[in-house]
Amino acid sequence: LFEGPVDFLKGVVAMSGLPPADRVELCFAGRSNVGKSSLINALTDRKSLARTSNTPGRTQEINFFTLGTSHYMVDLPGYGYAKAPLGVVKKWQDLLKSYLSGRPNLRRAFVLIDGRHGVKAVDEEIFSLLDKSAVTFQCVITKADKVKTTAQEAMLDQVRERLSRHPAAFPELVLTSSNDGTGIADLRAIIANLA
Ligand code: GTP
Ligand code: MG
């Protein structure tokens, strides 16, 4: 899948702008600054396919990428915190929630969790939204390079414990780093198996 062409298709600011639901779709959700856009670049081995930034709130549109000829990969705006005016943030958060609850071809949502912070209350809100919408989601731990090996098991246990309350959660976790490449091949394989 990742050997085929990967291209930016469009940035969407309203539900009416979504492309037709005619491909298998997967998306990356997570708190602002968790590393969604960086992960897309690592997965596709393209340095700046998706725009990244130190400032939370970099991605403000729903960005669609074509993955080969059969899949869409979607980079979502972050939730929880953003350095942007409140009204603007509210607009993109509403769009994010509409998207996550109303996209018929969404095969799996990858919800990214910063390995240093674990699952927060805002993440659980998104988990519950996905439960309600019956969208299978899988947690991807990011920034593994910033977590000491000795702290990793406890962090993974916290995430597992939180997920156990959510029926739409796919139990397998993926530990990744976009910086050093940890887990990237594993995640590619998981995505390639989503038909
Ligand atoms: P929003 O679009 O604002 O919601 O953020 P995002 O989730 O797309 O995060 P983005 O990919 O822009 O990355 C945010 C910051 O985290 C950037 O400064 C990245 O360089 C950094 N970052 C992302 N992935 C990693 C990682 O694996 N390790 C480390 N150490 N830093 C990372
Ligand atoms: Mg982003």
The answer to ipTM > 0.85 is yes
Indicate which ligand has the atom closest to the C-alpha of 79.
1
Q: What is the pLDDT of residue 44?
A: 95
Atom of ligand 1 nearest to the CA of 56: 3
Listed residues: CB within 5 A of ion ligand 2: 36-37, 58-59
Indicate the top mutation candidate among 28, 44, 53, 114 to test ligand 1's pocket, ranked by most ligand atoms within 8 A of CB. 53
Nearest CA-CA partner of 112 in 139, 136, 131: 139
The CA 182 to ligand 1 mean position distance, Å, reads 15
Write out the chain's pLDDT in tens, 195 residues: 888 889 999 999 999 999 999 999 999 999 999 999 999 999 999 999 999 999 988 888 999 999 999 999 999 999 998 788 888 888 989 999 999 998 999 999 999 999 999 999 999 999 999 999 999 999 999 999 999 999 999 999 999 999 999 999 999 999 999 999 999 999 999 999 998
pLDDT digits (tens, 9 = 90+) for 154-172: 999 999 999 999 999 999 9
Query: What are the pLDDT digits (tens) for 178-191?
Result: 999 999 999 999 99
CA of residue 11 to ligand 2 center, whole Å: 12
Contact predicate 175/141, CB 8 Å = yes
Q: Which two tokens stand for residue 165?
A: 């309350």
Ligand 1 surroundings by CB, under 6 angstroms: 30, 32-38, 52-54, 56-59, 77-78, 142-143, 145-146, 177-179
Q: What is the pLDDT of residue 9?
A: 97
Q: Are 158 and 118 in contact (CB under 8 A)?
A: yes
Which CATH homologous superfamily contains domain 6-192? P-loop containing nucleotide triphosphate hydrolases (3.40.50.300)
Task: Give the C-alpha distances (Å, rounded to integers) separating 162 from 59, 124, 137, 141, 174.
Answer: 27, 8, 13, 14, 15
For the chain, which residues make up each domain, given as ranges? 6-192
